[in-house]
Amino acid sequence: QVFLGLTKTGELIAVKQVDLIETEVEETEKEYTKIFQEVTLLKSLVHDNIVKYLGSTYEHHTVSIFTEFIPGGSLATIIERFGPLELPVTARYTRQLLNAIAYMHENGVVHRDIKSANIMLVPNGTVKLIDFGCAKRLALRLSRSGSHLQKSLRGTPYWMAPEVVNDSGHGRKSDIWSLGCTVFELVTGKPPWGDREPFAAMYAIGSDDFPVPTLPESFRIRVRDFVSQCMMR
């Protein structure tokens, strides 16, 4: 659950709370240790297009994670309210997202759940990536291709990269795929394979038998090419 909080200095913040299992004390403490390490990592990320993490607490089997409060709503709610976005607006948001992703990747962090619902809009037109619940330091070992990988299945079906769906190990490139899906969503109003049920979409994403969706030819060639370059199996 997410709440609006007020600090002792009078600032509004967002408070995300997670209830942990009370009966398994040792497991609960291990889980909080993981969350605390993650929040400590996220506090080190300082970027105009990434939500600011403030800290966390653990009381009465409830973890509270404190972050900057962003009043504008997510891009998902913007699409619901205004419909597909115009290309200049999409370009403005995408440029900011690319800056945030480049910064994260340079610091060894993958988001693993990039989508419009996890991108908040500040009233002045600035966007910020939120919900790093899936973010982890990339594994130190190298794959055959030279990429740092994580092998756990995380993310949301319609925006998942094929290597995430197939659990074949994924890294920075998975965020780029999700970015392509997000741009597709911003300009059309729904993500690729959005007309399928989630599990059917996952099957299509992970199978070479299904071609990767492309934007209609009514869109400019540069836009179609950008999305296609991001969404490469």
User: Half-sphere exposure (CA, 13 Å, Cβ side) for 205?
Assistant: 28
Q: What is the C-alpha to C-alpha distance for residues 3 and 14, in angstroms, rounded to an integer?
A: 6
- Provide CB contacts within 8 A for 70, sequence distance 6+: 14, 51, 120, 121, 122, 128, 130
Q: What is the C-alpha to C-alpha distance for residues 94 and 84, in angstroms, rounded to an integer?
A: 14
Q: Is 131 a catalytic residue?
A: no
| Burial (Cβ within 10 Å: 0-12, 13-18, ≥19) of residue 156 | middle
Identify the bridge partners of residue 123 per DSSP, sorted by sequence position: none
Q: Which of 48, 113, 195, 209 is labelled catalytic? A: 113
> Quick one: tokens of 157?
């079906």
Which among 191, 55, 37, 26 is positioned nearest to 113, based on CA atoms?
191
Identify whether the C-beta of residue 181 lies closer than 8 Å to the C-beta of residue 97. Answer: no
Q: What is the C-alpha to C-alpha distance for residues 231 and 66, in angstroms, rounded to an integer?
A: 33
Residues that are catalytic: 113
